[in-house]
Each structure stands twice: as structure tokens, then as C-alpha cells.
Chain A
């Protein structure tokens, strides 16, 4: 069963395999040679363990994001050491809060200004799908993936800080599976 799941790639992976480090390691056998594989490993380790987000919070989920950085659920232990105010210096944008029609072009511009590699976490029900403002509302974008591509979705209204930390851990695992040459392509073993 383990071999079959490796063949199908990350999409159809069983959850317990995704959590198992050895299965992850066996993903990385691409045949690129010993040298590149080691560099790949080091770079992925570095990138995933120090993701620095942009200060971006529109509404209530922003407070839970601040609480995730507070002493109780400190996320500096996961590598999110500081928030960067400038998009050029940030790796990650955590879209925390509702995005409305007036704010959508601003968000797109911020995302375009960030430099590669960049990741997006959609935090909260409003960013995932419009949330409580789905019906009868004339000004809300129903889901931030109408505007920018999203890597990890964290549902909840608002999600607990532990949920955001779990989302960040999933993002770290996703980064570890990326290649050095093309960040958007997850490796597939034939």
C-alpha cells in the first residue's frame, strides 16, 4: 500500500503516510544525483523553517493571528521570527480576514510585489469562501482564491491559534517537497 501511494503522488496520499517522515524522504528520490539532492534538502530545510510573513490583517482573524504570535502560542518557535512590513522582504502572506471588492486590487498588488518563492495561507472562513458574508452581501469577495493562488486553507471563524499553527506546519511540509528548479512543481516518483 505504501508503494502505491508513492506512485500516485501527493494528492492521493493517506494521512498517516503524510505524517511519516520516511515516506516524505522517499519522495525525494528524483534521480537528480547526490549533489543536487543534498543542496535541495538544505535549501528546503532552510526555506521551510524560516517563513517570514507580511503584516496583513483585515479583520477579526487578525487578532487571532496576533494571539498566535503572543507568548502563549508563540509561533516564533516554528520559524516565524518577525513580521515584515514590506512585501519585498516577506515570504508568506496570511490573508486573515474578509476581502472586499475595494480591497481585492490592493491584495493583488501586494502579492505581485512579493518576490519568489512566496506562499499564501487563507485563514478564516471569510478568506476561504466568504464565510458568514456569503449570502445577501454586495461587496464581499467570496474566497480569496478568486484573487491570488492559495497554498493552505485554515477554516474556522475565527480559527484558534493552534489551527493556524497546524496550517503553518502543513505549509512547511509542502515546502519540503518542492524542487530547487521549479517551486510550483511537487516531485512525482514514477
Chain B
């Protein structure tokens, strides 16, 4: 499917999506409530068929926290990027996509561990790399740790 048609397809599915110009892949910001439904449609439709989620990451952009999904279709060869954001830093939460792509289970645990973003309906959301009783989320920009970090 070429890029123009793909863009139209996403905009019909989610009219509130914001398209970002001049990016390496076709990139959309979608509202957090529509994430799960959109992702499910993008995977199951025959002519989009995004079955391979190759990267799920999250960033603290200062004003808001953002989760980025890079996905690709193994049959048709095109790729797309979906982003969701939230300004709530105390209890950020999104819907999980691990019932759509099983690889998201570990990725979402890592995001919870390092950034503190919760995922609703995740089967086993607990810390992955750090100890269970670690306080704080290291990848946030306001993470202070005088004990462990030695600044250069």
C-alpha cells in the first residue's frame, strides 16, 4: 500500500490523529483512548497487516511522557510509527497491546521499570531490571540519585 493511501486509511480510522511532517517513517500522534482499537485494526486488516512490532519505547519529553510504537508488515513491506502521550506524571497509564503483539509483554515491563508508565490489563506488570524495592524511575529527566550516580 503506498504512503498516501496508508495515511488516508489511518486518518479514516482515527480522525483526531495528528500527522507529523518530515519524519523517516509515516508518524502519527493518536489519542490514548483509541490506541488499542487502532492497533487491532491495523494488524487485522488485510491491506495494512502490521504484524511485526519491531520497537516499543518511551521517552520523557519534559512536558509530557510519550510511548512510541514502530511496526512493520512482513507481507507488504511498509512501516508506520504510532505515538501516544500523556501529561500526567504522577500516574501515567495506557492500554496494553500485548494481546495483539506478544513481544510487547517484555517491552512494557521495561518501560514501567525505567519510566513508571503503567499499562492497563497487562498480565504481569512488575519491574524487570531493577530490584523490586528500587525507588524512582531512572530514565526520567528529573531522576536524582546522589548515592549511585557519580557525575563527570
Contact = CB atoms under 8 A, between A and B. Distances in A.
- The answer to whether A and B touch directly, with their CB atoms under 8 angstroms apart, is yes
A142 B143 CA distance: 20
A83 interface: no
B152 A138 contact: no
Contacts of B1: none
B46 interface: no
Interface string A72-112: 00000000000000000000000000000110000000000
Interface residues of B, number: 11
A138 B131 contact: no
Nearest to B148: A138
A128 to B, nearest CB: 16
A147 to B, nearest CB: 15
Q: Is the interface of B mostly helix, strand, loop or mixed?
A: loop
Contacts of B148: 101, 137-139
A101 B150 contact: no
Interface residues of A, number: 9
A136 B149 contact: yes
Of A134, A135, A138, chain B has the most CB atoms within 10 Å of the CB of A138
Contacts of A138: 138, 143, 145, 148-149
B150 A134 contact: yes
Contact of B131 (A101, A134, A135, A136): A101
A142 B151 CA distance: 13
Contacts of B76: none
B130 interface: yes
Interface in A149-170: none
Per CB-CB distance, the 8 closest pairs between chain A and chain B, nearest first, are A135-B152, A138-B148, A138-B149, A138-B145, A138-B138, A135-B150, A102-B131, A136-B149
